[in-house]
Amino acid sequence: MTPNLFPANKPGASSPAPARETVPPSRRRRGAALIVALFSLIRPAAPGQSPAPEAGTYSLSVAPWEKTVSLPAEATPYYRVVLGTSVTGWIDAVEADIGARVEKGDILAKIRAPDLVSARAARAEEARAAEQAVAGARAMLASAEAEAKAAESEFVRLRRLAADGTVTGKARDEAEARASAAVARVSESEARVAVAGADALAAKARVAEAEALLEYTRVVAPFDGLVVGRRAELGDFLASGAEGAGLFTVEQTDPLRVRIHVPEHAAALVRPGQQTRLSLAGREFEVELARVSGSLDPVTRTLAAEADLAGSDLLPGTFGTATMTLASLESAALVPLAAIRTGADGSRHLVVVEGEGRRNLPVTLHATEGGRGVVTGDLATGMTVLVP
């Protein structure tokens, strides 16, 4: 027979009392305090009254302020020109090579163009013939004038004699006709001189044109500079203007033109004469902006500015940075933007803590830097302002 593991209580027997966990007094006190604290936190505010938000404070520091910007800068040649010729001919001489220093007017190359030389000689011969024609016309004019003078004298003499009855009226009339014909020949001679003179001027113009074309047989440096490119080879035949283009590249490397591209947000603050610090090839230069384009590039949305840099010995194409001061204030403070309050009329002010009191201090906001604003006003170092 299996024994009963859970025997029932006998009638009249008392049941054992259940076990009870004992809580230490210190834990009971801590629990009561926690409950009181929780109820105090969720206690509703009095009607018509909201809890006041807590505010931080910020101590002002007043000092000079300036807004600077650093932009990419590139040193470029002051002038750069590609030289060539439009004449047809052979390169007869190459007088300069890359790296050569040249002065204005130096000949870099000579072109042999027989056609132009022949044309110039023909035009010169035409001019000489025209000058001879002018001389002949002037000689004829002088002869006609002499004949006209003699005929006029003869006519005057016979007219006087005819009045005395010494000669007949027919002789007088014939003398008058000869004088009139001589005057007409003078007019014709003057016209021939004028025509010959015009022809001579035209011939001279053709000579000048031929000589001007011969100028294209020489490639000449337009300014003092450095030859940085040469495509001319001795003996090359230039059959067209396209083949004669780009024989030499010359750059003026002193002074240099330093180009700076100013972004749109700073363009309005850049002006000629503005002090700029250039950092190029590990060296520092203090310069002034020489030129400002005054218009934004429609593609890059930047403003082109340039500074002249003389005596630097830098190579064109050197990259660096340009640092310039866009704005400055003698006395300003940087405060968190949250501390700057705006009134209904758009004015701005700070809330200054003075002992147990507070007052509004009007300020002017000039710029922002990150999360802070640059303000001016009746400010002093050590002032404490509220920051919500």
Tens digit of each residue's pLDDT (9 = 90 or more) over 266-316? 898 899 999 999 999 999 999 999 999 999 999 999 999 999 999 999 999
Domains contained in the chain, CATH given: 56-65+330-387 (2.40.420.20), 71-79+252-328 (2.40.30.170), 85-111+220-246 (2.40.50.100), 114-216 (1.10.287.620)
Residue ranges in the chain assigned as alpha helix (H): 25-41, 114-164, 169-215, 241-244, 264-267
Least confident of 51-65, 213-227, 247-261: 51-65
Q: What is the pTM of this model?
A: 0.63
Burial class (CB in 10 A: 0-12, 13-18, 19+), 90: middle
Residue 123: is its pLDDT beyond 80?
yes
* Position 9 pLDDT exceeds 50: no
55: confidence class by pLDDT, cuts 50, 70, 90: low
Dihedral sign (CA 30, 33, 37, 39): positive
- pLDDT bin (cut points 50, 70, 90) of residue 257 is very high
77/251 Cα distance (integer angstroms):
6
Six token digits for residue 109: 């190359």
Q: Which residue has the tokens 């009134």?
A: 343
pLDDT at site 52: 36
Rounded to whole angstroms, the Cα distance separating 302 from 257 reads: 18
Confidence category of residue 2, pLDDT binned at 50, 70, 90: very low
Q: Which two tokens stand for residue 155?
A: 């006519």
Give 142-152 pLDDT, tens digit per residue. 999 999 999 99
Q: Which residue has the tokens 């007019």?
A: 187
- Look up residue 117 and give its amino acid: V
- Give me the percent of the chain exceeding a pLDDT of 70: 86
Contacts of 244 (CB under 8 A, 6+ apart): 84, 85, 86, 87, 111, 238
The pLDDT value recorded for residue 46 is: 34
Q: Find out whether 337 and 385 touch, Cβ atoms under 8 Å.
A: no
Distance CA 360, CA 378 (A): 11
Nearest-Å Rg of the Cα atoms of the chain is 53
The pair of structure tokens assigned to 228 is 């940085």
pLDDT of residue 3 exceeding 70: no
Is residue 85 predicted with pLDDT exceeding 80?
yes
State residue 162's pLDDT score. Answer: 86
Residue 28's pLDDT is: 47
For tokens 């005819």, the residue is 162
Per residue in 369-386, pLDDT (tens digit) is 888 999 999 999 999 999
Its sign, for the CA torsion 11, 14, 16, 20, is: positive
Q: 327-368: per-residue pLDDT in tens?
A: 889 999 999 999 999 999 999 999 999 988 899 999 999 888
Q: Is 262 helix (H, G, I), strand (E, B) or coil?
A: strand
What is the DSSP-derived secondary structure letter of residue 344? T
169 Cβ partners below 8 Å, 6+ apart?
162
> pLDDT at residue 83 above 50?
yes
Phi/psi of residue 309, nearest 5 degrees? -130, 110
pLDDT at residue 22 tops 60: no
What does the alpha-carbon distance between residue 292 and residue 306 come to, in Å, rounded to a whole number?
A: 6
Q: Which of 266, 263, 259 is nearest to 67 (CA)?
A: 266
* Axis-axis angle for helices 114-164, 169-215 (nearest 10): 170
